[in-house]
């Protein structure tokens, strides 16, 4: 290894593997929890018209005021709460860590959970504490969580609601107990809000340490890279100090504002995905050897026969379908695959391929 590199790069960074995004060209893409539907042609034409006249030679509005106003109206954000925009929710997770990081400070979440809580904590030199979920249904082990909070005194607690990668929504009363016990900030991550009817958005302000984080990626705008954090203005004003200027480019600001003004189109798409989720769940339940878990997200975590996750992943890819293999990511995810809910014809192809591979397992090799 280059001696200078070894001396300058932190050992914990050198030990990391960069976040991997697999090649998906030519494949049915069911690996990344994206909305599979494109915009109607009429909406695309109107969107392109909205971009005419943009001054790309000028920096964007640093606060994204028009976009913030559109978000407040479309997402029913309480009038007395602040809003902070991020380049996806990943940047917001990074801003939170940068704002509070200090020697000995800790991040706490549940495991298995969203990998970026741990990774970004490491980037900021914060310790990460993961409390295992209940093995049978991925619910929160509340006594263990409360004990860990008391013992570790975390500065940040992240709770995905619903959870990624398990798809279940935690008990709301458990979250309230955690918020009330937490010595620091609790961030309820509602990335999958379009696919559930439960939310803490209307409760922001009830506790002075609660923030709600969302993204527009799952509703059908993943390419725009836009997340938003909602909470008391005094908290967001401090977190905003570590945000790089002009973090939301002008094309994203205008495009997202336009899309939010046509939110009914995306609501219709997410309702279709919800209906497909039910149909896919039912179909998976009919395949011998599979155990799909209940989901309130736009994916279904599925446990497969012992030792077959890798072969099934490879067999599906050979059949032109890309999913996420979570086997080995965490002990509770042994033999698990994560299947994003696609369009009806994509889900049908997935079910056919899984059925064929499980009936004739040699085909998966």
Q: Could you tell me the residue ranges of all domains in the chain?
A: 3-40+264-364, 58-262
| pLDDT, tens only, 144-174 | 999 999 999 999 999 999 999 999 999 999 9
Q: Is the pLDDT of residue 362 over 60?
A: no
SS3 helix, strand, coil % of the chain, rounded to 5? 45, 15, 40
What is the Cβ-side half-sphere exposure of residue 161, based on CA atoms within 13 angstroms? 25
Mean pLDDT of 5-20: 83
Give CB contacts under 8 A, 24+ apart, made by 27-30: 27/317, 27/320, 27/321, 27/322, 28/320, 28/321, 28/322, 28/342, 28/346, 28/349, 28/350, 29/322, 29/340, 29/342, 30/321, 30/322, 30/323, 30/339, 30/340, 30/341, 30/342, 30/346, 30/350
Predicted pLDDT of residue 4: 83
Flag whether pLDDT at 364 surpasses 50: no
CA proximity to 291, closest of 302, 299, 307: 302
The structure's pTM equals: 0.94
Q: How far is CA 261 from the centre of its chain?
A: 23
| 324-349: pLDDT as tens digits | 999 999 999 999 999 999 999 999 99
56 contact partners, CB below 8 Å, separation of at least 6: 250
Q: Which CATH number fits domain 3-40+264-364: 3.40.640.10, 3.50.30.50, 3.90.1150.10, 3.90.850.10?
A: 3.90.1150.10
What is the predicted pLDDT for the residue at 5? Answer: 86
Q: How many angstroms separate the CA atoms of 180 and 189, rounded? A: 17
Average pLDDT, the chain: 95
Q: How many CA atoms lie within 13 A of 48 on its CB side?
A: 7
CA–CA separation, 120 and 126 (whole Å): 9
pLDDT score for 299: 98
pLDDT attached to residue 26 = 84
For the domain made up of 58-262, the CATH class stated in words is alpha beta
């Amino acid at each position: 290894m280059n001696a200078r590199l070894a001396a300058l790069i932190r050992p914990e960074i050198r030990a990391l593997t960069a976040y991997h995004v697999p090649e998906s060209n030519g494949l049915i893409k069911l690996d990344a929890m994206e909305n599979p539907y494109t915009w109607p042609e009429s909406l695309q034409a109107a969107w392109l018209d909205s971009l005419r006249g943009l001054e790309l030679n000028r920096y964007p509005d640093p606060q994204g005021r028009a976009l913030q106003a559109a978000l407040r109206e479309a997402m029913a954000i309480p009038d007395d709460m602040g809003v902070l925009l991020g380049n996806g929710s990943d940047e917001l997770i990074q801003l939170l860590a940068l704002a509070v990081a200090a020697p000995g400070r800790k991040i706490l979440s549940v495991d298995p959970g969203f990998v970026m809580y741990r990774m970004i904590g490491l980037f900021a030199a914060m310790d990460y504490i993961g409390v295992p979920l209940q093995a049978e249904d991925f619910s929160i082990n509340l006594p263990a969580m409360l004990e860990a909070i008391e013992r570790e005194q975390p500065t940040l607690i992240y709770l995905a609601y619903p959870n990624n990668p398990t798809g279940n929504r935690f008990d709301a009363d458990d979250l309230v107990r955690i918020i009330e016990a937490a010595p620091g900030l609790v961030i309820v991550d509602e990335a999958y809000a379009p696919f559930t009817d439960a939310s803490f958005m209307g409760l922001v302000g009830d506790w002075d340490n609660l923030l709600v984080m969302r993204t527009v990626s799952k509703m059908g705008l993943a390419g725009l890279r836009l997340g938003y954090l909602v909470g008391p203005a005094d908290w967001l004003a401090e977190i905003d100090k570590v945000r790089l200027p002009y973090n939301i480019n002008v094309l994203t600001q205008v495009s997202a504002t336009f899309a939010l003004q046509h939110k009914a189109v995306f609501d219709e798409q997410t309702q279709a995905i919800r209906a497909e989720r039910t149909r896919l769940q039912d179909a998976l339940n009919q395949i011998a050897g599979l155990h799909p878990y209940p989901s309130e997200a736009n994916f279904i975590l599925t446990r497969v026969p012992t030792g077959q996750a890798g072969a099934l992943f490879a067999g599906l890819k050979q059949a032109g379908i890309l999913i996420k293999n979570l086997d080995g990511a965490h002990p509770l995810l042994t033999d698990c695959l994560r299947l994003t809910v696609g369009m009806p014809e994509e889900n049908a192809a997935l079910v056919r391929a899984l059925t064929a591979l499980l009936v004739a397992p040699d085909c998966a090799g």
